Amino acid sequence: MRALAVLLLLAAPAQAEPVSGYDFLMPETQALQDDDFANPGLLWVDQGAALWAQEGCTGCHGDATGSMRGVGAHYPVWSDERDRIVTIDEQIDYCRTERLGLDPLPRGATDMTALDAYVMHQSRGLPVAVALDRPELTEAHARGEEYYYTPRGQLDLACADCHVTNEGMRLRGEVLSQGQANGFPIYRQLWQDIGSLDRMIRWCHESVRAAPPADDDPVWEDLELYLRARGNGLPVETPAVRR
């Protein structure tokens, strides 16, 4: 099965130019995202700003509007200190626990997503620039890609079956986007709530009737690296509004 997936991968045409999920939205939804007041995701950006000051991030980083400009666009990165790939959420939580002595936030906690949204928001408009400049990163990227192209779940669908092969086609009333990650955390109208990339990946697993990887499985980092690097060059849109 795996060999077949790799063969299919080799046979597939070169990856199309990345297109943001924004371009697959209805004009009304685009207008909501572009509205600097009414974009509901900004509620969590505000919450993140409050936490930034309250939890003491300012002690090292000062005003995030300057110090965090462009930072989020490079994540996930390789950390020599920790000898592993680190996503933006993990870096924020590492700072909180190691440097500020706070309790770690549970995965998917609203405060975690709010901080993530606040940090990513500082890079809004800058191009996503995930570097794949060392073997650990290229290997992880390859593992993430393999995961992306591997069918799973009761529906036996790979991520790529929707977001590569059928991009731009309809799935019932929805237009399938490329599944780019440049707007995360997103305000999703279906959830009426903010969600990190982690939450979206879980939702996609549920949609193809598959169990998501275990929380401590390193494939989470591999997949996030692959997804973010896939959108290299697209502008960061956090907080994006999606259906």
Partner 1 sequence: MFNTRIRVPETAAAGEAVEIRAMIMHPMDNGFTYSTQGTLIPVNIITDFTCRYLGEVVVQVRLEPGISANPIFTFSLRATESGPVEFEWIDQNGDVTTASADLTVT
Annotated catalytic residues are: 204
Instruction: Compare residues 43 and 95 and give the one whose CB is closer to partner 1.
Output: 43
Instruction: Compare residues 15 and 192 and give the one whose CB is closer to partner 1.
Output: 192
Determine if 210 is a binding residue for partner 1 (CB under 8 A).
no
Please give the single-letter amino acid code of residue 140.
A
Q: Which of residues 167-206 bind partner 1 (CB under 8 A)?
A: 192-193
- Reference 185, options 212, 203, 207, 161; nearest CA is 203
- Give the shortest CB-50-to-partner 1 separation in angstroms: 8
Handedness of CA 46, 48, 53, 54 (dihedral sign): positive
Determine if 38 is a binding residue for partner 1 (CB under 8 A).
yes
Binding segment (CB under 8 A) for partner 1, from list 38-46, 129-137, 142-150, 213-221: 38-46
Determine if 54 is a binding residue for partner 1 (CB under 8 A).
no
**Alpha helices by DSSP H, 104-218:** 110-121, 135-149, 159-160, 197-207
Q: Which of residues 65-94 bind partner 1 (CB under 8 A)?
A: none
Determine if 46 is a binding residue for partner 1 (CB under 8 A).
yes
143 Cα distance to chain centroid: 17
Q: How many CB atoms lie within 10 A of CB 17?
A: 8
Phi, psi of 223 (to 5 degrees): -70, -40
Please give the single-letter amino acid code of residue 53.
A
Checking DSSP bridges between strand 186-188 and strand 240-242, what pairing results, if any? parallel
Determine if 42 is a binding residue for partner 1 (CB under 8 A).
yes
Binding segment (CB under 8 A) for partner 1, from list 39-47, 82-90, 141-149, 168-176: 39-47
**CA gap 138, 180 in Å, rounded:** 19
Binding segment (CB under 8 A) for partner 1, from list 3-11, 32-40, 57-65, 216-224: 32-40
**Which chain residues interact with partner 1 by CB under 8 A?**
37-38, 40, 42-44, 46-47, 192-193
